[in-house]
Structure 1
Amino acid sequence: MGVRLVLLRHGQTAWNAEGRLQGQEDVPLNEKGLLQAASAATPVAVYQPVRIIASDLQRAAMTAQALGEVTGLEITYDSRLREIGYGQWEGRTRDEIGADVLAEVYESAENPRGVDGESLTDAAARTAEALAEIAASGKDGETIVVVTHGTVARAGVQHLLGVPHELWEGFRTMGNCHWLILEREPHRWQLVSYNLHA
């Protein structure tokens, strides 16, 4: 079976609700997000995780804490699981940035987001590195839950699976408190399920 990773996206924040790009701004869960985290905790706990590792941004940490309360597991944190850095775009809506600017930047995964932000390829590489290390630390048959963010969950998994950059937009970003299941077998990664929810 290998090691199973369950990647859980954090619950909703006020900025999610307003359509604002969060990036690495440390925005907490709103009331709906707290309810989502509590609702997701029980079905995710059914996978019987042995560890919970989260991004150190508080929206992910708060989501992980809800799961920790159900499972009794301690949470550890890894800054490599943070969302992509959007630089000057953080806190702005897509309308405020402008469709033409977004289209130009999004033409390539190599382009930095928000002028001084991170490229999608760089964010994918650091996330994939963290996921590979986490999986390598597990034993055969174990499940580890990783609580992270929408863009890096998708891009990190695509990087591990070897999906070409030009096809990355073919994966929809997971919804708040949705999750995916990824398995690390001896010589390959397999995406088992995607965008699951309570």
Structure 2
Amino acid sequence: MRQIVLVHAGATEYAKQGRIQGTLDVPLSEDGKRQAENVATALAELKPTILYSAPGQASQQTGQVISDRFSLKLRTLDKLTNVNQGLWQGLLVDDVKTKQPKVFRQWLEHPEMICPPEGESISKARERVSEVMAKLAKKLKPDAVAVLVAPDPLACVIRHVLSGAEFGDLWHCGTQAGRWETIELDKPAVVAVEAKS
């Protein structure tokens, strides 16, 4: 049975500060590096066969730790850039909550209906992710265990596309850093596993 192990890229300083990262290219923090090591250790029981990563330092650094552990080539999926948060990028989540409470509430309740100023809507990101995941699924062998590293909130969009799971609170997706979950492509079901810090 084909499986995708969706790894949420390790934490960055932006996540720690409660900032909206979007497409800003921020490296792993020290906590993020530890999370990547913990994920690599935890994945041993799954015996990954192929490794993909979104572009961006946090995803690439997390993926490289996994690559080194399992001697897998790290393949970058360039179309899986993080969701562009436009003019919100770099702002504190609390600033948006205070200055734009209506938008903040809508983002919590129906993120697919909101587009940050000069950014990308979740609906557009979902279309982009759906296309990439369809192509990826066709390439995977029947017994493949594919690890896919992605930053949040993109990882939440990928989970939604692959399993139909709710988007969840996209503002606080950064709290998912260092977690991983398995998604069976032939029978969508999500099993979330937290990597211990």
What percent of counterpart residues are identical?
Answer: 26
Q: Secondary structure at the match of 1:85?
A: coil
Q: Which amino acid aligns with 1:19?
A: G
Q: Which residue is 2:192 aligned to?
A: 194
**C-alpha contact 1:45 1:67 (8 A) present in aligned 2:** no
Q: How far 1:55 moved relative to its partner?
A: 0.7
Does the residue aligned with 1:80 lie in a helix, a strand or coil? coil
Q: Match for 1:133 among 132, 135, 140?
A: 135
Which residue number in structure 2 is paired with residue 123 of structure 1?
125
Q: Is the 8 A contact 1:181 1:193 kept in 2?
A: yes
1:111 match: 114
CA contact (8 A) 2:39 2:180 kept: no
Partner Cα distance (2:193, 2:122) in 1: 20
TM-score, normalised relative to structure 2: 0.87
TM-score normalized by structure 1?
0.86
1:68 corresponds in structure 2 to: 67
SS of residue matched to 1:169: coil
Q: Distance in 1 between matches of 2:163 and 2:13?
A: 32
Calculate the aligned-residue CA RMSD, in Å: 2.1
1:182 alignment partner, SS class: strand
Amino acid at match of 1:64: G
SS class of match (1:23): coil
Q: Which has the higher mean CA deviation after the structures are superposed, 64-73 or 42-51?
A: 42-51
Equivalent pairs, count: 190
Gaps of 5+ in 1: none
The equivalences for 1:16-165 within 5 A come to 16-99=15-98, 100=101, 101-105=103-107, 108=110, 109-113=112-116, 115-162=117-164
Task: List alignment gaps of at least 5 residues for structure 2.
Answer: none
Q: 1:98 to 1:196 in 2, by over 3 A?
A: closer
User: Quick one: distance in 1 between partners of 2:86 and 2:108?
Assistant: 15
2-side partners of 1:89 and 1:197: how far apart? Answer: 29
Aligned residue for 1:7, secondary structure, equals: strand
**1:127 touches 1:153 (CA, 8 Å); kept in 2?**
no
Distance 1:11 1:143, change over 3 A: same
The structural deviation recorded for 1:162 is 4.4
SS in 1 for 2:133: helix
8 Å contact from structure 1 (residues 11, 177) kept in 2: yes
Q: Secondary structure at the match of 2:34?
A: helix
* Contact kept in structure 1, 2:6 and 2:182, CA below 8 Å: yes
Inter-partner Cα distance in structure 2 for 1:119 and 1:195: 28
Distance 1:153 1:62 in 2: 16
- CA distance in 1: counterparts of 2:106 and 2:70, whole angstroms: 45
Preserved CA contact (<8 Å) 1:5 1:135? no
